[in-house]
Structure 1
Amino acid sequence: MSATSARPEPSSNLRQTLATLPRDTRDTLFLLGVIAWVIAPQVAHLPWWSSSLAAALLLWRGILSWRGQALPSRWLLLGVLAVAVGATLATYRTILGRDAGVALIVLLLALKTLELRARRDALVVFFLGFFTMLSNFFFSQSLLTAIAMLVALMGLLTALVNAHMPVGRPPLLLPLCTAGMMAALGAPIMLALFMFFPRMAPLWGLPSDALTGRSGLSGTMEVGNVAKLALDDSVVMRIRFDTPDHAAPPASQLYFRGPVLSEFDGRQWREPTPRQDPWLGQWSLPPQLRVQGEPLRYTVTLEPHQRPWLMVLEAATEKPALNGFNLFMTPDLQWLSTRPITDVVRYSAESYPDFRHGPTRMSDALRELALLPANSNPRTVALAQTLRADPAVAQGGTPALVDAVLHSLRTGGYEYTLEPGLYGPDSADEFWFDRKAGFCEHIASSFVIVLRAAGVPARIVTGYQGGEFNSVDGYWTVRQSDAHAWAEVWMQERGWVRIDPTGAVAPGRVGQFQRLVAPQGVFGQAMGSVISPGMVQHLRAVWEAANNHWNQWVLNYTQSRQLDLLKTLGFIAPSWQDLVRVLGGLLGLAALLGAAWTLWERQQHNPWLRLLARTRQRLAQAGLIVPDSAPPRTIATQVQAQFGDDAQALCAWLLELEQLRYAPPPAAPRQLRDLQRRWHRLPWPATRPS
């Protein structure tokens, strides 16, 4: 055999090294690994210096433990603490609030690991670890975060149980099993608290931070912004239609209305400025919403987007059913809340696909929506004048003008693309005459500008169009990649009319749920070659269905759903007081069951003690009286002194019995049963005649 083949594998060397580590080193490395797991999800929300410093501190502590070196002095740790607090103050201008507090608690947890000199220090680390684990939910309550924190909980419980096993070198599997038993015993109480503890406004809170930015629609639009959203595949909302098989209406009706942009400064579109208090919904143009036909009923589960608007299909006449929020509709048919949506919310709504809205007669306020900045897009202005001068357009009015512009989009060689390049200040000129390529907001903006240049009131509506059906749970999923921009044109006697010019360039975008897909990276291409696209799509549908159930039954388990649960239990008009009574009854029952179990267990003899008592009784029959307080080793010494070498097997059995009590192996129950069987086959000394 060659020298190369005889060389041990690195993995086997690592396993041997870990197996020979001192227990303190092994336990410390395990605890550091658990802490790193707890901190890891925070990296995306912490400043780079905080994550780097926490990682360096944990690595430093691990090296010290591996090498068996002394811990640093307290003065050095105080210096690092001062740097951490100073950096937190410099970054956040405070040490209070959610973001600053989490950054500081992460650093304190990492620093405390360098003070693990006594059990008291270990307990502080454990409690800091539990608090840091909970702080992950300040930023995300997703199913993935919950799974990760459940693993962290089991790791911290295992380390805590292991710290209370000071004798011997128990394998980590033993405290893990104990931690799992503790979690299983506490699960029913946790479930009762979750289901019946009244959902009320929190009685405490951290000082509010600035709302964290999140990709999504905005109250402004600069050409190119919506195209960036198409690269984001995150979920915006999930919809369940109250129709047979939860089927969606035709694609031409799936327009989820968001911000309406009517003010244009030459580069950027903005929402209109309200004439009075925006929360009262008083603008200069009333909505004058007119609907007909049957409404479409549906339920929306909206992800937090840190904005005040709710997404509903056009057009909803009644306030969406959302408890705890003050809602109102703007004159632009957009439903708003008086506070941002910072958590997952679920609401029901009714929308009328067949509707008209807005004034039917021209007014000064409408004329303002036909204005353009001076010297803006001169070639587009000239194009509008040319179209307006056409006899057919002059005779047909605004509808004929709209048809003419749409005809130009269909026949002019225009392209729908995610990568049209950077547009300059005269974006409409570049789109109509130079690039002839763009995403939905390029097309909508250029369309509205040419209409305004012809003197027609027009504006841009942003929102989401379309969606994807999940056959696993029957919900429609709308993503950021479904973000869309379309136009509204004012027409005499009709009011505002939706016109989607993107459909003229790419009919599949609106009519067949076709989306532009961003180019895949190297990893995505490699995965596509290993796993079939159908399998990937199915796995994605299953995971999103699981996420949806998490949102529906956990994150959106509100007080109204608690009261509905009480109704199913027989309460006629349940209230939060009934929730307290039910919860108190369940907790009282759990306490009684626990007390009964404790009393029953106390009445049972420990199997080990019972076996030792039987041994003393058998030796007493042979003439050796052993005190009740004597341990097995003392009994073995007395047996050896009285019966000599004939009792060697009995002495060895007694020593095994003692080892099972004070240094139990992983398979302790099995070994106890083996000792009980062997007890009957032992060569006991002859019984002394009475």
Structure 2
Amino acid sequence: MTLPRLASLPRDSRDTLFLLLVIGWVVLPQVTNLPWWCSLLVAVVLAWRGTLAVQARPLPSRWWIAGLLAVTLSGTWMTHGTLLGRDAGVTLIVALMALKTLELRARRDAFVVFFLGFFTMLTNFFFSQSLAVAAAMLLGLLGLLTALVNAHMPVGRPPLLQAAKTAAWMALLGAPVMAVLFVLFPRFAPLWGIPGDAMSGRSGLSSQMQVGNIANLALDDSIAFRVRFEGPPPAQADLYFRGPVFSDFDGREWRPLLPRLANRFPPLRLADPQLVGFGTPVRYEVTLEPHNRPWLLTLDAATEAPQVSGMRAAMTSELTWVGSAPVVDLLRYTAASHVNFRHGPQGRIAVLPEYSALPPGFNPRTTELARTLRRENPGSAPLVLVQAALRHLRTGGYTYTLEPGVYGEHTADEFWFDRKEGFCEHIASAFVVLMRELDIPARIVTGYQGGAVNPVDGYWAVRQSDAHAWTEVWLENRGWVRVDPTAVVAPGRTGTLQRLTPPRGVVASAIDSVNPDVSAFLRASWEAMNNRWNQTILNYTQSRQLDLLRNLGFDTPSWMDLARVLIAVVVLVALGGAAWSWWDRLQHDPWLRLLARVRKQLRQAGVEVGPATPPREIARLVTTRFGPDARGLADWLLKLEAQRYARVPGASLAALRREFQQLSWPH
């Protein structure tokens, strides 16, 4: 059976198909966030409803809808364990909107679907507030408005293009109001922002480190944070952005020495007296993507607390800066760091043995390697032993790879003697184990290393693929010293020659094969647009609102001042609207306004003329009432009618207006 052409379908069927298309577009970005069964259910229901519309078949009975509703409720409960909350609520609202299309019989049902569609469009921003999602939802908004306008049009077959133009004009008229509310509407936390669980399931630096953990993260090419330096940036090899530090090892997993600091705010500590910076500090601004952790990534090492609006920042004893709450929204802060610094006690103290502890029974061959290094360097200082271990790395045939395979129980032994290959976490872990076997305090530092400047906007983009693990060893009279064993195995990893890049997509690979420069420019331009979106829209916080008031002349602005400014703008806009309405009335059809003046003059002369009375009839009335005294007025009225309706217009409207001023009115 062949399907009828779209142009030959009844209007109800055509409008239904358009609405189903818009609903599909609104739901499409949610597919990765919805349970698989919900996406499948929505696709089947929309396809079913479209088939019924095309074939003009009756809608399913209420028993069908009740059964599908029961399936939706059961599936939501089994998937999320609740019917409340963000994830369960989005699942329900999407499924119920699809099921409502099976009841699409009257305009009232269509209105319910419209407003469910508007709400579903809003839920997309619970999961992502990126520029791409915003552009897709803008298109979805215009589609829903088009369907809404089309539903209010009279009977017949009005073209969708006409409804789309009206919808676009409505959106354009509402844009100034939206802009004013965006700039001036007070942002009260936590009412303003996305739900706190919106970052569940997002990857980032972990609170512990296992073999393969950062290797998986390195395949993610998304941006972790952006940096804008006030002056010249440091050298690429100095771009170490510090994250969590791991010092406690159980043989398989590294954890922080103080686990309570991983997810809880430490005692307030704005600086470390054992941290001394040398030279001029590097000042910069960080725009941190949400990662659902409290860590504030700073260039190693930040001697002052990062300036974060609405959040306290404190330093752990291992130089990691953390915020008073997890970062679940785009966060911008400023910081100052010294790439040359000294940290830690100069002499051994009681806490240092904790950085030398190893679990018994693990990595026996690494223990023997440590003994060998000591025999080859008898009586050597710890620095000489560190250099000997690095020399062993450099000359022992070790390689850097993203696919080291799964390690067994003795991870350090496997790296040093069996595999001789690994990612930065394997190398760092094996190196720290060897250092501790040599009785040299050591720990693992995780974070990000490197980055690339965007030539379009000048921001440095640090990606998840730049996630890195390095080590710090304690040396007497020097404190903690950074040692990056990965840079010994693969020098390009911390330089500019060899950056980690995940596999490119089909489109990107095709563009690269044609012109790599065009591909790089397009990517840089898109990321610069995303950055501008983040800086201007997503990061428009209450502090920036108050800064706007300061620029307007307020000395100590508050949210009350913000509300007053908003009210003043609303009043001014209302007055402007009233003035425009009055001006529009003045401009409304000057011919009818001139005829209205005639009626007003005749009313003063005692002659009532109806609003629908044409000039010719008015001329007859005044001639009958006043005789020859009204002949001039009657002739003028006939010329006024001819100016409007005659095929060959008579006098111009301006000339008729001048004659009107000279008329002699009968009494």
Q: 1:280 to 1:186 in 2, by over 3 A?
A: same
Q: 1:79 to 1:546 in 2, by over 3 A?
A: same
Q: Which amino acid aligns with 1:437?
A: E
Note the alpha carbon deviations across 1:590-644, whole angstroms, 9 max, x for none: 222223333444555569999x99xxxxxxxxxxxxx98799xxxxxxxxxxxxx
Q: Distance in 2 between matches of 1:606 and 1:40?
A: 48
- Counterpart of 2:256? 271
Q: Distance in 2 between matches of 1:560 and 1:251?
A: 33
Q: Distance in 2 between matches of 1:188 and 1:210?
A: 30
Tell whether the 8 Å contact from 1:417 to 1:516 is kept in structure 2 after alignment: no
Tell whether the 8 Å contact from 1:213 to 1:306 is kept in structure 2 after alignment: no
Counterpart check, 1:452 vs 2:419: no
User: Match for 1:250 among 225, 232, 235?
Assistant: 235
Q: How far has the Cα of 1:458 moved from its partner?
A: 0.8
Q: How far has the Cα of 1:407 moved from its partner?
A: 0.6
Q: Distance in 1 between matches of 2:276 and 2:588?
A: 81
Deviates more, 1:420-429 or 1:58-67: 420-429
Gaps of 5+ in 2: 597-609, 615-642, 650-667
Q: Which amino acid aligns with 1:499?
A: V
Deviates more, 1:205-214 or 1:75-84: 205-214
- Counterpart of 1:100? 88
Q: Distance in 1 between matches of 2:382 and 2:90?
A: 57
Q: Distance in 2 between matches of 1:314 and 1:205?
A: 30
| Matched length | 605
- Counterpart of 1:442? 426
Q: Which amino acid aligns with 2:313?
A: L
Q: Distance in 1 between matches of 2:554 and 2:497?
A: 46
* Structure 1 residues 523-542: aligned runs within 5 Å: 525-529=509-513, 531-542=514-525
Q: 1:237 to 1:180 in 2, by over 3 A?
A: same
- Counterpart of 1:569? 552
> What's the secondary structure of 1:578's corresponding residue?
helix
- Counterpart of 2:647? 680
Note the alpha carbon deviations across 1:630-684, whole angstroms, 9 max, x for none: 99xxxxxxxxxxxxxxxxxxxxxxxxxxxxxxxxxxxxxxxxxxxx9996279xx
Q: Distance in 1 between matches of 2:103 and 2:260?
A: 61
Tell whether the 8 Å contact from 2:224 to 2:463 is kept in structure 1 after alignment: yes
Counterpart check, 1:584 vs 2:546: no
Counterpart check, 1:510 vs 2:498: no
Q: Distance in 1 between matches of 2:591 and 2:92?
A: 49
- Counterpart of 1:227? 215
- Counterpart of 2:38? 50
Q: How far has the Cα of 1:394 moved from its partner?
A: 3.5
Tell whether the 8 Å contact from 2:198 to 2:328 is kept in structure 1 after alignment: no
Gaps of 5+ in 1: 1-12, 614-626, 632-675, 683-690
Q: Distance in 1 between matches of 2:497 and 2:315?
A: 28
Q: How far has the Cα of 1:56 moved from its partner?
A: 1.2
Q: Distance in 1 between matches of 2:234 and 2:591?
A: 71
> What's the secondary structure of 1:44's corresponding residue?
coil
Q: 1:357 to 1:242 in 2, by over 3 A?
A: same
> What's the secondary structure of 2:141's corresponding residue?
helix
Q: Distance in 2 between matches of 1:206 and 1:506?
A: 41
Q: Distance in 1 between matches of 2:55 and 2:479?
A: 79
Tell whether the 8 Å contact from 1:237 to 1:302 is kept in structure 2 after alignment: yes
Q: Distance in 2 between matches of 1:522 and 1:146?
A: 24
Q: Which amino acid aligns with 1:489?
A: V
Tell whether the 8 Å contact from 1:46 to 1:103 is kept in structure 2 after alignment: yes
Q: Which amino acid aligns with 1:249?
A: P
- Counterpart of 2:47? 59
Q: 1:21 to 1:494 in 2, by over 3 A?
A: same
* Structure 1 residues 147-158: aligned runs within 5 Å: 147-158=135-146
Q: Which amino acid aligns with 1:23?
A: R
Note the alpha carbon deviations across 1:138-163, whole angstroms, 9 max, x for none: 11111111101100110011100000
Q: Distance in 1 between matches of 2:488 and 2:191?
A: 54
Note the alpha carbon deviations across 1:387-442, whole angstroms, 9 max, x for none: 0222xx34331100110011111111111111222221212111111221111111
Deviates more, 1:52-61 or 1:542-551: 52-61
- Counterpart of 1:141? 129
Q: Distance in 2 between matches of 1:30 and 1:260?
A: 55
Q: Distance in 2 between matches of 1:608 and 1:78?
A: 61
Q: How far has the Cα of 1:533 moved from its partner?
A: 1.2
Q: Distance in 2 between matches of 1:48 and 1:331?
A: 45
- Counterpart of 2:359? 373
Counterpart check, 1:297 vs 2:280: no
Q: How far has the Cα of 1:288 moved from its partner?
A: 2.1
Q: How far has the Cα of 1:296 moved from its partner?
A: 0.6
Q: Distance in 1 between matches of 2:497 and 2:260?
A: 38
Q: 1:163 to 1:607 in 2, by over 3 A?
A: farther
Q: Distance in 2 between matches of 1:207 and 1:536?
A: 36
- Counterpart of 2:397? 413
Q: 1:430 to 1:532 in 2, by over 3 A?
A: same
- Counterpart of 2:452? 468
Tell whether the 8 Å contact from 1:257 to 1:334 is kept in structure 2 after alignment: yes
Q: How far has the Cα of 1:505 moved from its partner?
A: 0.9
Q: TM-score, normalised to structure 1's length?
A: 0.83
- Counterpart of 1:324? 310
- Cα RMSD (Å): 2.8
Q: How far has the Cα of 1:62 moved from its partner?
A: 0.7
Q: Distance in 1 between matches of 2:504 and 2:139?
A: 32
- Counterpart of 1:174? 162
Q: Distance in 1 between matches of 2:646 and 2:395?
A: 98
Q: Which amino acid aligns with 2:382?
A: T
Tell whether the 8 Å contact from 1:42 to 1:136 is kept in structure 2 after alignment: yes
Q: How far has the Cα of 1:549 moved from its partner?
A: 0.5
Q: 1:366 to 1:196 in 2, by over 3 A?
A: same
Tell whether the 8 Å contact from 1:287 to 1:359 is kept in structure 2 after alignment: no
Percent of matched pairs sharing the same residue = 61
Q: Distance in 1 between matches of 2:132 and 2:195?
A: 27
Q: Distance in 2 between matches of 1:26 and 1:608?
A: 42
* Structure 1 residues 127-138: aligned runs within 5 Å: 127-138=115-126
